[in-house]
Amino acid sequence: MPLSANAFGSLELKNVGRSFGGHDALVDLNLTIRAGEFIALLGPSGCGKSTALNCLAGLLPLTHGQILIDDKRVDVLPSEKRDFGMVFQNYALFPHLTVEKNVAFGLQMRNRPRAEISRRVKEAIALVKLEEHAKKLPGQLSGGQQQRVAIARAIVIEPRLVLMDEPLSNLDAKLRLEMRTEIRRLHQSLGLTTIYVTHDQEEALSLADRLVVLREGHVQQVGTPAELHDNPANWHVADFMGYRNLLDLKVVSVSGSSAKVEGNGLLLNATMVQPAAAGDEVRVAIRPHDLVVAREGQPTEGRNTFEATVSVVEYQGREFAVGVNTSTGKNLFVHSEYAPTPGETVRLVLDPARALVYRTSLAAVSAEEQELLQVRG
């Protein structure tokens, strides 16, 4: 399918903001998106994801800022003049039109010649593998198939940008996984610049080239999946990226980017992501996968080790998700390669590099402080 998707160099959001009454739903969103990139907007309910997408789509006017494609303002254009394809959570198909006619709609609105419409509709339907269902009405299709129709309808117009708002959230777990792969396949084969809204971090990590994490309308971090997964910028992002263990501890001493922290009956060697000094109260974030039940004889040199009591064990295929209590009763989420017994005392191992130290406040760290930390590290 010929595509105009790469017909621009970059899409730029400059200080984009939107308020409702006195409430700021989105504040100063700054982002430059390259043609062909897949960007996920990620965050908990109410963080401003849909507001950002609707501002891009032209469904909501901006309160502040500009949206530019190759230095030309697009935020001043009405929605239909932006040449963007949209896919919504609720499919938003015309129930009385067949699959073919739903897909053809955008091209008809653009007054394309009939032969061209017919060819492009056929190509789009083949891309989402719905050839057998072309003559059916949406009500005769499964949720996953309906979402494929919505995707075909968005891409058939050869959009400059595809906007997707939680497109998989109405599907069951198995179908979500299938459609996720399908969306990735389509993106890889068509190279469509895509902005995808989700509250599901796994979905965002598996689909996107870069993620934008939002909280209460403010960008918390922009980065690749690996950057966000391994090095969240603050404890909120860490929490959202699956660092289920958040411990409020006190810094005992600092050396370079390493810190010794204590509290909850623990004394741990950890790594500072945000700078801290001896005596500071900090929040230490640890992924369950990095806090592991040690096996007999396992070498633990250079690692933190401490004992805890098993409270609950969950089977997860090849390994076990285990809940434990520390000596002071603090509940922790850990992993184990074998099934320990509730009540059993286990030994946990934790690499200091994977115990990340953050400030408890979410105030931004200054560039000078960050530089200092890197130099000391």
- Applying CB under 6 A, which residues contact ligand ATP? 20, 25, 43, 45-51, 199
Question: In this complex, which beta carbon is closest to ligand ATP, that of residue 46 or of residue 340?
Answer: 46
Contact criterion met (CB below 8 Å) for 146 and 89: no
To the nearest whole angstrom, how small is the minimum distance from the Cβ of residue 18 to ligand ATP? 8
CA 157/CA 78 separation, integer angstroms: 17
Question: In this complex, which beta carbon is closest to ligand ATP, that of residue 20 or of residue 94?
Answer: 20
Smallest CA-to-CA distance from 365 within 353, 374, 354, 377 is with: 374
Question: In this complex, which beta carbon is closest to ligand ATP, that of residue 48 or of residue 225?
Answer: 48
Contact criterion met (CB below 8 Å) for 156 and 117: no
Residue type for 235, please? W
To the nearest whole angstrom, how small is the minimum distance from the Cβ of residue 29 to ligand ATP? 11
Question: In this complex, which beta carbon is closest to ligand ATP, that of residue 2 or of residue 21?
Answer: 21
Contact criterion met (CB below 8 Å) for 192 and 184: no
Query: How far is Cα of residue 265 from the mean position of the Cα atoms in its chain?
Result: 34
Could you tell me whether strands 319-325 and 304-316 are parallel, antiparallel, or unpaired per DSSP bridges?
A: antiparallel
To the nearest whole angstrom, how small is the minimum distance from the Cβ of residue 200 to ligand ATP? 10
Question: In this complex, which beta carbon is closest to ligand ATP, that of residue 217 or of residue 288?
Answer: 217
To the nearest whole angstrom, how small is the minimum distance from the Cβ of residue 236 to ligand ATP? 14
To the nearest whole angstrom, how small is the minimum distance from the Cβ of residue 51 to ligand ATP? 3
Give 88's strand partners. none
CA 246/CA 269 separation, integer angstroms: 15
